[in-house]
Chains A and B, each alone.
Chain A
Amino acid sequence: MFEQSISTLAQKLRNKDLSSVELTRHFLARIAKLDPQLNSFITVNEQRALEQAAAADALLQNGKGSSLTGIPVAHKDLFCTEGTLTTCGSKMLNNFIPPYESTVTQRIQQAGAIMLGKTNMDEFAMGSSNENSFYGAVKNPWNLDKVPGGSSGGSAAAVSAGLVVAATGTDTGGSIRQPASFCGITGLKPTYGRVSRFGMIAYASSLDQGGPMAKSAEDCAHLMQAMAGFDDKDSTSAEQPVDDYLANINAPLTGLKIGLPKEYFGDGLDSKVADVIMAAVKEFEKLGASVKEISLPNLQLSIPSYYVIAPSEASSNLSRFDGVRFGHRCDDPKDLLDMYMRSRAEGFGTEVQKRIMVGTYALSEGYYDAYYLKAQKIRRLIKEDFVKALAEVDVIMGPVAPTTAFGLGSKTSDPVAMYLEDIYTLSVNLAGIPAMSVPAGFVDGMPVGLQIMGNYFAEAKLLNVAHQYQQHSDWHLQIPTMAKGA
């Protein structure tokens, strides 16, 4: 059952070939058996899931519900879920039970999906490997000695190993696409503002965006149908009409113009990964697409720009965790300053403290213009590169990451080496455009993701392009050995 798509499972539920309670028990049993090896969940909500499943069965019995009704999903542990522990992967929030529901999880719940639990993640979504969680590192189902990617690594590993049908993730600098690529699943980072950020614990507010992670583009489309749309509780939510993400998913790709940025294929890209990406592009040509070389000349600047903007916003957002209003509080503070400083030092992990300090430095007197303002100007240059390129082509393609998943612990001592892993993903967040990772092949047994980037609010086009590729390839259907036979 764990190998089947949302459409197939929805049909079986509707035909009464299967009940949601049976389906939910199946996935809960898989979690119990396989997750001790992966550590992809922080919280599993067995009782709540079975209650939701029984309610879904009652709806389906009456012929009601959506395509998500009765389908087991999981949420990244930074979406606030009312009454369920929400930690953001941090000691700071290890006893936080939100009194309200995020818009994303509420909409998915209203669509009838079953929440099995909350997935592990890099603390406060800061990381490219999922080794920065207070709850321990997540392992890659394709090789347990490798990272799953971060920060939505728990969601990616859980979907990849078939512990859940689909999951939510968030992407601030590549945190949906990179783990999707490393774990061989499909992930979509929507346009900034397309999916509500209400109830998401903020890392960098002008970059964060929630999105779906699933086995296929079609499954991502089912999730997007529920997730996307204006939300007046989020002041950055876009007041744009929402597409029907399934309506044109089968449209042919004849005439599609693909841009290949030369900067994505230069030094630093593993040649075997490059071969996989170019083979995938050739498949698109067979489907009627044409390819054109383009340029995104400011790509290299996305790393320094991002690593000023994101930590600056983080230093502001995370100031609320002070031992008074939110989060861990130290024992026996001698005065107010001591309470703030020790509570934050004890509650935050090393990577979070590092980024808070970088942000504090960039925003401090005398440095603001040279760092923060400069980074925001470069951000405009990066956006203009995309606007210019997307005026000439329909979509842009390239790798998601320079390499496949790397070894656990292999980059933890060198922050800059870790940050360079994000070279192909960061610019998308700075510009705010949508982008996907789609399984495109393997290198030495590890999955490789093809990145497909599109114009603002062109999620339906991206899903169509990815779906058509998946109709002619089976990379997304491959299953890690550890997930078989469980």
Chain B
Amino acid sequence: MSIDKQDVQKIAHLARLALTEEGADQYQHSLSSILSLVEQMQSVNTDGVEPLSNPLEMTQRLREDIVTEENRRDAFLANAPLTEAGLFLVPKVID
């Protein structure tokens, strides 16, 4: 299966990845070959087969809706490039 450069740019936008013209060329080739590989699946009849999302077929385990974690604000702020008064500072991106 082949996809064109416009498709690549569209997918990159959905994935929030900035692509250069050169990058789009490279990815067009590799994405096309990967999608051709996965096309093999279409030859198999899977009518009536239940999809399997968890190999152990487990269902989500729930817990009591209570707070179990202690407040570790200082530890969580430690990686942030900028903080002030116990808050994260982020660039202004909305006018």
Contact = CB atoms under 8 A, between A and B. Distances in A.
A380 interface: yes
B34 interface: yes
B17 A356 contact: yes
A283 interface: no
A339 to B, nearest CB: 6
Interface stretch (A21-29, A175-183, A303-311): A303-311
B14 to A, nearest CB: 5
A304 B41 CA distance: 6
B17 A357 contact: yes
Contact of B11 (A235, A342, A364): A364
Interface in A282-320: 298, 300-301, 303-305, 307-308, 315, 319
Contact of B41 (A235, A342, A374): A374
B46 A377 contact: yes
16 contacts: A100-B75, A192-B55, A303-B40, A308-B41, A319-B16, A338-B18, A339-B91, A344-B16, A344-B17, A348-B17, A353-B15, A357-B15, A358-B31, A360-B15, A361-B31, A430-B55
Interface of A is mostly: helix
A333 B93 contact: yes
Interface string B83-94: 000000011011
B23 to A, nearest CB: 8
A375 B72 CA distance: 41
Nearest to B3: A361
B79 A95 contact: yes
Interface in B1-33: 8, 11-19, 26-27, 30-31, 33
B22 to A, nearest CB: 12
Contact of A235 (B15, B37, B61): B61
Nearest 4 CB-CB pairs, A to B? A432-B55, A376-B51, A99-B75, A377-B46
Interface residues of B, number: 48
Interface of A: 95-97, 99-100, 191-193, 206, 232, 235-236, 238, 298, 300-301, 303-305, 307-308, 315, 319, 322, 324, 329, 333, 335-342, 344-345, 348, 350, 353-354, 356-362, 364, 370-371, 373-381, 383, 414-416, 419, 430-433, 456
B93 A360 contact: no
Contacts of B52: 376-377, 379-380, 383
Interface of B is mostly: loop
A326 B55 CA distance: 29
Interface of B: 8, 11-19, 26-27, 30-31, 33-42, 44, 46, 49-56, 58, 60-61, 63, 72, 75-76, 78-79, 81, 90-91, 93-94
A357 B31 contact: yes
Given A206-B55, A304-B38, A371-B38, A353 B33 contact: no
| Most chain B CB atoms below 10 A, which of A95, A238, A361, A374 | A361
B7 to A, nearest CB: 8
B50 A354 contact: no
B93 A339 contact: yes
